Structure 1
Amino acid sequence: MLEEQFKVRFYETDALGHVNNTVIPGWIETGRLPIFDFFGAMSGETISLIVARLEVDYLRPIYFGKPVTVKTFVMRLGNSSFDIGTEVWQDDQCCAMGKTILVYFDYSEQKATPLTADIKQKLSALAHPEYPIDA
């Protein structure tokens, strides 16, 4: 599992004093960036990862002035796609949960391509300690 800590910036809050809902997907994206290192150089001309789906459940407000921790983990490994889970924590409470489906995509062939055994092994190491990976 990966963990990243963020300071809530004032401009990320709304008139009610909590983090705007549009900010959370950005934190989710930043939390999963280290996973891209497993895939080496990617481009829109060769093979890359594409986001097929992003879901966010907003559980409780997040406030300015207190740090948040974004926990990122692998939930499922498929043939050419995998699911990333994300939890956003503040004050020891889970405030948001996300799920992102990423597809390993070959742009030259315009189709999904299988994940290698090496990549699957690296992704497996990012399992949540409390949840097994679905295969």
Structure 2
Amino acid sequence: MFSEEFNVRFYETDALAHVSNTVLVGWFEAGREPIFKLFTLELDLQNWPLILASYKVDFLEQIYYGQKVQVRTYISRIGSSSFDVYQELWQEQKKCATGTTTLVHFDFKAKKAVAINDEIKATLLVNSYPE
């Protein structure tokens, strides 16, 4: 599991006094940064090796300003060139949201998916969601 913690910033709240639904996608992306570094340690945007194929977010509880949030990131599926990232957002010991993202190892010059090497697959597997 990868874990990141964030402070909820005032501007991330909405008129209903809870965190806006649009903010979670950004937190989930930031929580995937350790995975990005497996593919490009320097996060080199000129040679980016991943493409987002899909994502889904489920909202379970409201999230509030003034309390930190934690994003827990796991790998839930590994294919030959793609993998699914399952994430949970926690605040005050409550699971407030979940998300699943499909990422594809991608060669932008050739415009096609490429196989994930065995070393990266092994690291992804270590961070699999416990079933």
Please indicate the TM-score interval, normalised by the length of the shorter structure. over 0.9
Amino acid at match of 1:89: W
Identity %: 47
Give 3-state SS (helix, strand or coil) of 1:36's partner.
helix
CA shift at 1:3, angstroms?
0.8
**CA separation in 1, counterparts of 2:114 and 2:15?**
45
**CA separation in 2, counterparts of 1:59 and 1:90?**
11
Gaps of 5+ in 2: none
Mark the CA change 1:88 to 1:47 in structure 2 (over 3 Å): closer, same or farther. Answer: closer
Match of 2:117 in 1: 116
Give 3-state SS (helix, strand or coil) of 1:22's partner.
helix
TM-score of the two chains, using structure 2 as the length reference: 0.93
Two-structure CA RMSD over aligned residues (Å): 1.3
Match of 2:79 in 1: 78
Runs of 4+ in 1 over 3 A off after TM superposition: 41-44
Amino acid at match of 2:3: E
**CA separation in 2, counterparts of 1:60 and 1:47?**
34
TM-score of the two chains, using structure 1 as the length reference: 0.90
Q: Deviations over 1:57-86 (max 9, x none)?
A: 011100111111100010000010000000
Count how many residue pairs are aligned between Structure 1 and Structure 2: 129
Q: Is the 8 A contact 1:69 1:89 kept in 2?
A: yes
Amino acid at match of 2:51: I
Match of 2:27 in 1: 27
Q: Deviations over 1:60-116 (max 9, x none)?
A: 100111111100010000010000000000111110000000000111211100111
Amino acid at match of 2:76: M
**CA separation in 1, counterparts of 2:10 and 2:117?**
42
Amino acid at match of 2:58: D
